[in-house]
Amino acid sequence: AGAETLKRAVQLDVASRFQESLVCYQEGIDLLLQAMKATTDEAKKHRYQQKISEYLTRAEEIKEHIKKQDSKYHKQIRIEENATGFGYEKLFHEYLTENVSEVWVEDPYIRQVHQASRYLLYNFLRFCEMLVKGPCKVKTIHLLTSYDEGSGRSQQMSALEEIKQSLRNYGVTLNINFSSSIHDREIRFSNGWMIKIGRGLDYFKKPKGLFSIGYCDFDLRPCRETTVDVILTKHTKK
């Protein structure tokens, strides 16, 4: 998984898609670190260390390049570990203007209802609720994700179909597509804004209980550390 993610990072890097490549570099480096910690083979540890050092150097170079870009069309938000006050409304409201009629969500992990620390389908549902409340006039949401594995797939399909039917009651069409090779995580609005969150929609920690503060109100739920890049794509050089 780390190798595939880093391969994608290099491809995006070569294509000068630096924002996207940085996200993949960071995710790939994290996966390599996990693999290095898990192995007892010293030769493998050494190879992992070399690769991690190389990719870290390139990631830092890309960060510096991004900083030099015109800040008028690019904003970066750093969400610290355990920070609160970063519910979807706060994060996206500034960019959800009245002329937004279409939204694209690319996230490979909109699937399991319950993971070790994640409520991914519920997060997507919460995101859709925000769109329905406005002030934007969203008519179509496009979701690109990956299939769940094993027995979880039927639960994933059932949940997504229920969200689709519910959105239809509000005059919103949900188009769902699946990809086995998707790595990138981004959200695009039809007014030209693109939001790239390092962890996708899943940057919240698991609530402590069903009746704990922060279970319903995401502004009160602690976050996991991540970076959010907001870019006005119509001014982005290709």
Taking only the tens of pLDDT, the chain with its 238 residues reads 778 888 888 999 898 888 889 888 988 888 888 888 888 888 888 888 888 899 999 999 988 887 766 555 778 899 999 999 999 999 998 899 888 999 999 998 887 654 443 468 889 999 999 999 988 899 999 999 988 877 778 888 899 999 999 999 999 999 999 998 888 899 999 999 999 999 999 899 988 888 999 989 999 999 999 999 998 876 544 3
Q: What pLDDT, on a 0 to 100 scale, did the predictor assign at position 171?
A: 96
Q: What pLDDT, on a 0 to 100 scale, did the predictor assign at position 217?
A: 93
Q: What pLDDT, on a 0 to 100 scale, did the predictor assign at position 43?
A: 85
In a domain, 74, yes or no: no
Is pTM, for the whole model, over 0.85? no
Q: What pLDDT, on a 0 to 100 scale, did the predictor assign at position 165?
A: 97
Task: Give the CATH number, domain containing residue 1.
Answer: 1.20.58.80
Count the domains in the chain. 2
Domain that holds residue 35: 1-69
Task: Give the CATH number, domain containing residue 192.
Answer: 3.30.870.30
Calculate the CA 196 to chain-centre distance: 6
Q: What pLDDT, on a 0 to 100 scale, did the predictor assign at position 111?
A: 74
Compute the C-alpha angle 218/222/224, nearest 5°. 110
In a domain, 49, yes or no: yes
Query: What one-character-per-residue DSSP string does the chain give?
Result: -HHHHHHHHHHHHHTT-HHHHHHHHHHHHHHHHHHHHH---HHHHHHHHHHHHHHHHHHHHHHHHHHTS-GGGEEEEEEPTT-----HHHHHGGG--TT--EEEEE-TT---SS-SS--HHHHHHHHHHHHHHSSS---EEEEEE-PPPTTHHHHHHHHHHHHHHHHHTTT-EEEEEE-SS----EEEETTSEEEEETTTT--BPPPSSTTSTTSS-GGGS-B--EEEEEEEGGG---
